[in-house]
Amino acid sequence: MNRKKKAPPTINREDRPFFCFGKVLFLLATGVLVYALALLAWLPAGFIWQQLQPQITMPQGIMVTQVSGTWWRGAASAVASGYPFRVQWQLGWPQLSELAIPISWEIDTAQSELHGDLGLAWPSIATVTAEGSLVVDEFESLIRQSGGAMVTGTININHFALLWQDNQLESASGLGQWQGGLVSWPMAERTESANFPPMQASLGTTKGGLALQVAARDSDGPAASATVLWNGMLDLRVYKRLLDLAGQPWSDSAKPEDMVFRIRQPLLQGVM
């Protein structure tokens, strides 16, 4: 005897409620996640600074006066040794293949400007690049206070690169150029001056700090060299080449590469 097969029951989807419990829970969780991400993305940098400031020890002579923007794109106003400056930053998209975050930055004073990139990579790698220009006249009082030589015009930073890895400096390099002009320096109770040719400064690393060499562009050796140690101490050496450029008398038997004097003092007064 043949039995007729029963047709499967039909489900009328129009009779099912659109907002079932699972869907409501999913939409609620999604909304909370989006809201939390929006709050995080637009979290004010000033609020973050207020929370972190008590745990951060700023270098002596540097004071942050204002922070604005967000944590990923913002700006901070500060004062260093009496000179106001402004720092701006912007985070780029993370580089997942290298586990790195690129950050663009810019530092401006009344007349000078530096800009570059900061790269932070896992687990403990940091790179910094920079270029820009420094108007020396802007920092005249600080230079006079430290007893250094005063130059006129602008120093162009053509290149600067630094690599920090495993809690130590791996490498540093840089090149700055000055078009030449009048240079003045203290000499006993008077001030001497002379016109210098175009000069350039090259930066490298040395044990315990950074090494800087200053030379005329067409010279075969340094006119002066300086080492800045991590504790803020400056070790400055001057060679006879610099006296020749300044037109200052010295022993005729001395060679251009002979060191004529040496100064060792804190880079900024009051740091040590």
Provide the terminal-to-terminal Cα distance of the chain, rounded to the nearest Å. Answer: 108
Cβ–Cβ under 8 Å, residues 166 and 144: no
Residue 93 has pLDDT above 60, yes or no: yes
pLDDT digits (tens, 9 = 90+) for 96-153: 777 888 999 999 998 999 999 999 898 889 999 999 999 988 888 888 877 777 888 8
> CA–CA separation, 272 vs 146, rounded Å?
13
What pLDDT is recorded for position 271? Answer: 46
Q: What percent of the chain has pLDDT over 90?
A: 31
Confidence of residue 38 (pLDDT cuts 50, 70, 90): low
pTM: 0.71
Task: pLDDT band for 30, please (50, 70, 90 cuts).
Answer: confident
* Average pLDDT rounded to a whole number, residues 156-163: 93
Mean pLDDT, rounded, for 69-87:
89
Over the chain, what is the mean pLDDT? 83
Distances from the Cα of 88 to the Cα of 29, 73, 109, 164, 260, angstroms: 35, 8, 12, 22, 43
The residue extents of the domains of the chain are: 133-154+175-272
247: phi > 0 → left, psi -120 to 50 → alpha, else beta; which?
A: left
pLDDT at residue 272, rounded to an integer:
46
User: Which helix (DSSP H) or strand (DSSP E) does residue 142 occupy?
Assistant: helix 140-146
Summarize pLDDT for 229-263 with one digit per residue, the tens: 877 888 999 999 998 888 888 888 888 889 998 98
